[in-house]
Structure 1
Amino acid sequence: MTAEHALPAAGIVPRPVVGRLPKYAAGKAPVPIPGLESFKLASNENPLGPVPAVRAAIAAQDDIHRYPDTLCTLLRGALGEFLDVPADDIVTGAGSLGALTQILAAFAGANDDGSQDEVLYAWRSFEAYPICVGLAGARSVQVPLLADGTHDLAAMAAAVTGRTRVILLCTPNNPTGPALTAADTEAFIQSVPGHVVVVIDEAYQEFVRAADAVNGIDMYRKYPNVVVLRTFSKAHGLAGLRVGYSVSHPEVTAYLRAAATPFAVSSVAEHAAVASLANYDQVVERVQSLVDERDRVTAGLRALGWDVPDAQGNFVWLALGEDTSGFSALAGEHALSVRAFGNEGVRVSIGEVEANTRFLEICASYTKAPRRS
């Protein structure tokens, strides 16, 4: 039967949960404006790309007709040395998001008796969280952020129930920017039952400069229920290759490997990540240049009287409320794409110097800014 004569898909419906899921909205490319160079500041991408050795490693791969090593042995070995952790404590995934889905698949979902496990996280946070939790069959428990964009850890601890199986801590928090402190995070972990998996999602860890910020690897070393998520998408500039990983103790990794998608990380991605680690001093230089730009943008906004949260990732957050769509449209008129979140605010990635300067110029003439009280 040819495609044009195929029968309609009458009666084919997804699981009910699919219809209830929020839709993931990826950052859009800017609309071209005559006379202006366009810049995409909507996806927290690294505008500098990977270091030269990574491009060479990618070009050298000529065995893409072969399946990759599903255990990513080469990369796990390099990461083990880089982080000073056992390679067996590392499980790779298609970005940190892929590694997260493995955690949820292993530890949270619908049970044989029809009950749902609970996954607890701050909100607003990474917008893929409710999608991943819902598809796993678990129930999301969202705890509102504090007014300054930080996790309300006291309220999160109070929200833990007998059904809580996984807790997600996003630090720095995407999209608002603040990072959790080591002291607050450790106190929170100690307040949580030991059978609950605490995930420290550190996609932007390399950009953090706060002296008191938590380092997930330190928490993993001390607490067997802690899982750390990291990625090569941001600091290393490998977003398009999809390579991330989790770090946890053997009693956790055994289940994560059982839930892992085979061949999730390609051989191209694995060799690129290894090359990036081997040239980490160059990665650090690029990251620092973006941190310098982030600090310039943050200082510029505050000098204008804008109330912006502490920015520890490669982005800034503007809590514009009902003016969110208007500001996003204004940026678009100046050939900048930014990420609008409903009527909550706008996240603006740190991009090229010219893009950041243009963004500040827009803000200088904008009259509906979030102001300090």
Structure 2
Amino acid sequence: MTVRLRPEIAAVPPYQQGRPAPQGGYKLSSNENPFPPLPAVVEAVKREAERVNRYPRPGAPDLRAALAAELSVDVERVLIGDGSASLLQQLIHAVAGPGDEVIYAWRSFDAYPLFVRMGGATPIEVPVDADHAHDLDAMADAITERTRAVIVCSPNNPTGTIVDREALDAFIARVPADVLIMLDEAYIEFVREQTVDGIALQRAHDNLVVLRTFSKAHGLAGLRVGYAVGDPAVLRGADMAGVPLSQTALASAAAIAALEHVGETFARIEALADQRDALWQRLVDAGVAVPRPYGNFFWIPSSPGQEDAIHDILDANRIVAKVFTDGTRISVGEPAADEHILAAATAIQALQ
């Protein structure tokens, strides 16, 4: 006889992390920053490594204070976590359980259904529109008495689209005040044409929490550090749903150093955004149906049943990317990978 797992856990497929690259290939499967860590970040980690025999300070107070100053918010409105995904899971578990519903766009971040089901709640997936963007009107229409939370991902992972300020304002106005709105801005630093100021919106709506991360633009994916900005009462609930002392001192030290040298980071982001925009234009000129990307990745739509053929195309071009049933997400990586991306995307388009 085997141990009986909760039905929700047994039925949930595991999250699929991006595959590693083969020898001589390019790993474009996890939306990582291809630049190495800033020298100041490396030095901060080295210094902190001498104290790893001690537990970190609860709640990463130094990082919270640095972020509060950077964002011009009260320190009580900042919560640190093991990446923004971990905080999002904590928020869901704080507000939703069996019999409750959580609404999000689909396709969006593929960990959302995992987080919702693990807490015993029911995911409500609202299809993206023809432009692969959030259909906020349809998401608002899907709200019921059982809805406890909604997730808006902008830029949307994996389609790369963003939400419009006017549409988001109208959406928030339709969400009941006791329903949590999570604005997942993991890739916000890559957006050049900013239409939504999530932090300013949060100041006006206590049921809105903004989630961001140091994993992507700041290049700290290997250290797992993110943050949430929201109403202190909501953040306390999320904090209680997390694991005590889970934010490592190494991660906090690295994030503080990254904030202190944010100018260097944003110079790198500008270079990546330039590379992204130039490659997107080449893809469009080649006839590839790619939504305009606002993150650091491209979305190449495809049809169910083409996954094996797509993997063969990627392998032939020495690329690993995230392949879904309805499309492939390819990260912006080293400039040398651009020709491989163009060739692979063109071949994937030819399957349609």
Q: Into which bin does the TM-score normalised by the smaller protein fall? A: over 0.9
Which of 48, 54, 63 is 1:75 aligned to? 63
- 8 Å contact kept, 1:179–1:214: no
**Aligned amino acid, residue 20 of structure 1:** A
Unaligned runs of 5+ in 2: none
> Residues 368 and 78 of structure 1: is their aligned pair in 2 closer, same or farther, counting only changes over 3 Å?
same
Which is higher, the Rg of structure 1 or of structure 2? 1
Matched, 1:17 2:4: no
**Aligned-pair distance for 1:369?**
5.7
Which of 292, 296, 300 is 2:282 aligned to? 300
Residue in structure 1 matched with residue 88 of structure 2 by the alignment: 100
How far apart, in 2, do the equivalents of 1:215 and 1:264 lie? 29
How far apart, in 2, do the equivalents of 1:128 and 1:365 lie? 28
Matched, 1:90 2:89: no
Secondary structure at 2:51's aligned position in 1? Answer: coil
How far apart, in 2, do the equivalents of 1:85 and 1:186 lie? 21
User: How far does the alpha carbon of each residue in 1:48-107 deviate from its partner, in whole angstroms, 9 at most, with x for none?
Assistant: 132111011011111101111121100000000111111110111110011112101211
Residue in structure 2 matched with residue 134 of structure 1 by the alignment: 117
Residue in structure 2 matched with residue 144 of structure 1 by the alignment: 127
Which of 301, 315, 322 is 1:332 aligned to? 315
User: How far does the alpha carbon of each residue in 1:127-175 deviate from its partner, in whole angstroms, 9 at most, with x for none?
Assistant: 0000011111111011011111100111101000001011000110000
Query: What root-mean-square deviation, in Å, do the aligned CA atoms of Structure 1 and Structure 2 show?
Result: 1.4
User: How far does the alpha carbon of each residue in 1:274-301 deviate from its partner, in whole angstroms, 9 at most, with x for none?
Assistant: 0000000001011111111111111010
Matched, 1:261 2:243: yes
- 8 Å contact kept, 1:95–1:233: yes
**Aligned-pair distance for 1:367?**
6.1
The aligned length equals: 350
Residue in structure 1 matched with residue 172 of structure 2 by the alignment: 189
Which of 270, 273, 289 is 1:291 aligned to? 273
Q: How many percent identity over aligned positions?
A: 40
Residue in structure 2 matched with residue 64 of structure 1 by the alignment: 52
Residue in structure 2 matched with residue 46 of structure 1 by the alignment: 33
Q: How does 1:287-366 map to 2 (within 5 A)?
A: 287-322=269-304, 323-342=306-325, 344-364=326-346
Residue in structure 2 matched with residue 282 of structure 1 by the alignment: 264
Secondary structure at 1:11's aligned position in 2? Answer: coil
How far apart, in 2, do the equivalents of 1:276 and 1:203 lie? 16
Residue in structure 1 matched with residue 217 of structure 2 by the alignment: 235
- Runs (4+) off by over 6 Å: none
Residue in structure 1 matched with residue 233 of structure 2 by the alignment: 251
> Residues 11 and 161 of structure 1: is their aligned pair in 2 closer, same or farther, counting only changes over 3 Å?
same
- 8 Å contact kept, 2:300–2:348: no
Secondary structure at 1:119's aligned position in 2? Answer: strand
Secondary structure at 1:60's aligned position in 2? Answer: helix
How far apart, in 1, do the equivalents of 2:64 and 2:348 lie? 48
Secondary structure at 1:228's aligned position in 2? Answer: strand
Secondary structure at 2:144's aligned position in 1? Answer: coil
Unaligned runs of 5+ in 1: 1-9, 111-115
Secondary structure at 2:350's aligned position in 1? Answer: coil
- 8 Å contact kept, 2:300–2:349: no
